[in-house]
Amino acid sequence: MTISQAAGNVCTVSALNTKKHQTANSVNSEVIYLPSTDCAIKSQASLSAFTSYRVGGAADLYVAPRNLEALQASLKYAKERDLKVTTLGAGSNLLVSDGGISGLVIATRHLRFSNFDPQTGQLTVAAGESIPSLAWAAAELGWQGLEWAVGIPGTAGGAVVMNAGAHNSCIADMLVSAQVLSPDGTLETLTPEQLGYSYRTSLLQGGDRIVTQATLQLAPGADPAKVVAITKEHKKHRLSTQPYNFPSCGSVFRNPKPYSAGWLIEQTGLKGYQIGGAQVALLHANFIVNRGGAKASDIFCLIRHIQHQVQERWSINLEPEVKMLGEFQGAC
Ligand SMILES: Cc1cc2nc3c(=O)[nH]c(=O)nc-3n(C[C@H](O)[C@H](O)[C@H](O)COP(=O)(O)OP(=O)(O)OC[C@H]3O[C@@H](n4cnc5c(N)ncnc54)[C@H](O)[C@@H]3O)c2cc1C
Ligand SMILES: NC(=O)C1=CN([C@@H]2O[C@H](COP(=O)(O)OP(=O)(O)OC[C@H]3O[C@@H](n4cnc5c(N)ncnc54)[C@H](OP(=O)(O)O)[C@@H]3O)[C@@H](O)[C@H]2O)C=CC1
Ligand SMILES: C=C(O[C@H]1[C@H](O)[C@@H](CO)O[C@H](OP(=O)(O)OP(=O)(O)OC[C@H]2O[C@@H](n3ccc(=O)[nH]c3=O)[C@H](O)[C@@H]2O)[C@@H]1NC(C)=O)C(=O)O
C-alpha cells in the first residue's frame, strides 16, 4: 500500500474557495482551501502547539496534507505564488522564532500508513508516522531493530532527515530507502549512500526536498516479550537520564566528539542557569527546558550564552542540533 492509497480521508473536493472559520490554531478567521482538495490552508496559524518546546510564533500559511496528491498540490500552490516552503514533522527538534515563519509551512505528520512485511523483514512507513509508536509496534511483533528509538518523539520523516539515533544505533543503520519529493513534483527513491549520512546529519538538512516515506530493514522472529523488555529498558534509562517533565527539543547540541556536550556544559557551571523561562536542565545539561512561559528568544539567548561560555572555557564550538526557523537577529 502507498500513501495515496492509504488515505481514506483523502483531500478530494473541488475548486479553491474560502470561508470564515475559527480554530484554536488560527489567529485570523480566513481559511483557504488547497485547489481541488478539501485541505485547509490556515493563515496566521500558531506553531507553538506543533513544536515540543511549545514556543514560537505563527506560520503565514499552514497546511497539513493527508496524502501524496495533497502534498504535491501544496507544493504547486507555493510555487505558483512564489512562497518559501518550510517542512514540519512533529516539531521535536525545532526552535521557531517568536516572529513565526513566512511563506507556507507544510506539516507532514498527517501522512500516515505503515506496513510490516514478514517476507522481507522490512517496515515501510509514511513520513508522518510516529517513531516511538513504531518502536513499540515492532517490539510487540517481536521485530528487532527499533528498540533504541523509543522516547524519540518525532516522525519517520524527521528521523530520516535528522538521522535520529540513540544507544549507538541510528536511522542510517537500518534505512533501506527513502522516498523524497522535490519542489518540481519529482518523486525519487534514494539509498542511504545518496543521503550522505553521518552523525545526526544528512544531505536533506537545509534542502527543499520532502521525505514522503521510508523503508527500514528490521529483524522479525524474536520473542516479543524479550524485544518489549529491551525497549522498556531503553525508555527507563531515558527517563532517569533525560528530563521528560518539561518541554524540550532533546539534545540542543551535537556532541563535539570525543567530548559530550552535557559534560562540557555541566563542567562550565551552567546547570540550572536560566534566561526567562528557559533553563539548562538540572538532570541533563545538554537539554534546555521550557520551565513555563519561555519565549523562543529566551531559548535562543540561552543557546548563545552556553556556546560563548563553553568556547571561553574549553575553546570548543558547540554546534546546535536543534533547527532554528524564523528570524532571531537582535533577540539577545
Ligand atoms: C524529549 C526528546 C528526546 C529526544 N531524544 C532524541 C534522541 O535520543 N535522538 C535523536 O536523534 N533525537 C532526539 N530528539 C530530537 C528529535 O525528536 C529528533 O531529531 C526527531 O528525529 C525529529 O523529528 P520531527 O519529526 O520532530 O522533526 P522536526 O523537528 O519537525 O524537523 C526536524 C528537521 O527535519 C525537517 N523535516 C521534518 N520532517 C520532514 C520531512 N518529512 N521531509 C523533509 N524535511 C523534514 C524539518 O524541516 C527540520 O529541519 C529528542 C527530542 C525530544 C523532545
Ligand atoms: N519533553 C518534551 O518536550 C516532550 C517529551 N515527550 C516524551 O517523549 C516520549 C515519546 O513521546 P510519545 O510520542 O508520546 O511516545 P510514547 O513512547 O509515550 O508513546 C508512543 C506510542 O507507543 C505506545 N506505547 C507507549 N508505551 C507502551 C508500552 N509500554 N507498550 C506498548 N505500547 C506503548 C503509546 O500507546 P498509548 O497511546 O496507548 O499509551 C503510543 O501510541 C514520551 O516519553 C513523551 O512523554 C513527548 C513530546 C515532548
Ligand atoms: C537526546 C538526544 O540524543 C541523545 C541520546 O538519547 C543519548 C542516548 O543514546 O545519547 C546522546 O546523549 P548524551 O551523549 O548526552 O548521553 P548521556 O549518556 O546522557 O551523556 C554522555 C556523558 O555525559 C555526561 N553528562 C551528561 C549530562 C550532564 O548533565 N552531565 C554529564 O556529565 C554523562 O555522565 C555521560 O558520561 C544523544 N545526544 C547526542 C547529542 O548525541 C538527541 O539527539 O536529541
Q: What is the pLDDT of residues 65-77, one digit of tens each?
A: 999 999 999 999 9
Nearest-CA residue for ligand 3 atom 33 is 263
Q: Name the domain boundary from 71, 92, 107.
A: 107
pLDDT confidence of 30, banded at 50, 70, 90?
low
Q: Are residues 251 and 160 in the same domain?
A: no
Mutate to test the pocket of ligand 1, among 53, 75, 150, 161 (most ligand atoms within 8 A of CB): 161
Instruction: State the pTM of this model.
Output: 0.93
pLDDT confidence of 156, banded at 50, 70, 90?
very high
Nearest-CA residue for ligand 2 atom 30 is 136
Burial class for 161, CB neighbours closer than 10 Å (0-12, 13-18, 19+): buried
pLDDT confidence of 278, banded at 50, 70, 90?
very high
Q: Is 87 part of any domain?
A: yes
CA dist., res. 10 & res. 5, Å (int): 9
The 101-107 sheet, strands edge to edge = 18-20, 30-33, 40-46, 58-63, 101-107, 85-88
Average pLDDT over residues 165-192: 97
Q: Is 331 part of any domain?
A: no
Which residues are within 8 A (CB) of 20 and not within 5 positions of it... i.e. 6 or more apart? 29, 30, 31
Residue 205 CA: nearest ligand 1 atom is: 49
278-281: long-range contacts (C-beta < 8 A, 24 or more apart)? 278/302, 280/306, 281/243, 281/246, 281/248
pLDDT confidence of 82, banded at 50, 70, 90?
very high
Which residues are within 8 A (CB) of 294 and not within 5 positions of it... i.e. 6 or more apart? 53, 55, 276, 277, 278
Nearest-CA residue for ligand 3 atom 30 is 263
Which residues are within 8 A (CB) of 267 and not within 5 positions of it... i.e. 6 or more apart? 313
pLDDT score at 17: 34
CA dist., res. 164 & res. 154, Å (int): 9
CA dist., res. 227 & res. 140, Å (int): 7
Nearest-CA residue for ligand 3 atom 24 is 263
Ligand nearest to the CA of 130: 2
Residue 251 CA: nearest ligand 3 atom is: 44
Q: Are the beta carbons of 155 and 129 closer than 8 angstroms?
A: yes
Q: Is 147 part of any domain?
A: yes
- What percent of the chain has pLDDT above 90? 88
Nearest-CA residue for ligand 1 atom 9 is 165
Domain coverage including residue 21: 3-107
pLDDT tens digits for range 124-133: 999 999 999 9
Q: Are residues 39 and 61 in the same domain?
A: yes
Mean pLDDT of the chain: 92
Task: Catalogue the active-site residues.
Answer: 200, 251, 321
pLDDT score at 191: 98
pLDDT tens digits for range 245-271: 999 999 999 999 999 999 999 999 999
Q: Is 269 part of any domain?
A: yes
Q: Are residues 128 and 235 in the same domain?
A: yes
pLDDT score at 2: 53
* CATH code of the domain covering residue 13: 3.30.43.10
The answer to whether residue 276 scores a pLDDT higher than 50 is yes
Lowest mean pLDDT among 33-37, 168-172, 207-211: 33-37
Q: Is 330 part of any domain?
A: no
What is the three-state SS of the chain? CCHHHHCCCCCCCCCCCEEECCCCCECCCEEEECCCCCCEEEEEEECHHHCCCCCCCEEEEEECCCCHHHHHHHHHHHHHCCCCEEEECCCCCEEECCCCEEEEEEECCCCCCEEEECCCCEEEEECCCEHHHHHHHHHHHCCECCHHHCCCCCEHHHHHHHCCEECCEEHHHHEEEEEEECCCCCEEEECCHHHCCECCECCCCCCCCEEEEEEEECECCCCHHHHHHHHHHHHHHHHHHCCCCCCCCCCCECCCCCCCHHHHHHHCCCCCCEECCEEECCCCCCCEEECCCCCHHHHHHHHHHHHHHHHHHHCCCCCECCEEECCCCCCC
The answer to whether residue 154 scores a pLDDT higher than 50 is yes
Q: Are the beta carbons of 220 and 97 closer than 8 angstroms?
A: no
C-alpha cell at 1: 500500500
The answer to whether residue 158 scores a pLDDT higher than 50 is yes
Report CA Rg, the chain.
Answer: 20
**Ligand 2 centre and the CA of 15: distance in Å?**
39
Q: Is 282 in the pocket of ligand 3 (CB under 6 A)?
A: no
Ligand nearest to the CA of 138: 2
**Ligand 2 centre and the CA of 93: distance in Å?**
16
The answer to whether residue 297 scores a pLDDT higher than 70 is yes
Q: Is 130 in the pocket of ligand 2 (CB under 6 A)?
A: yes
CA 184 to chain centre: 23
Q: Name the domain boundary from 240, 273, 299.
A: 240
Q: Is 329 part of any domain?
A: no
Q: Name the domain boundary from 107, 126, 160.
A: 107
pLDDT score at 3: 57
**Ligand 2 centre and the CA of 312: distance in Å?**
38
Q: Are residues 235 and 257 in the same domain?
A: no
Q: Are residues 300 and 216 in the same domain?
A: no
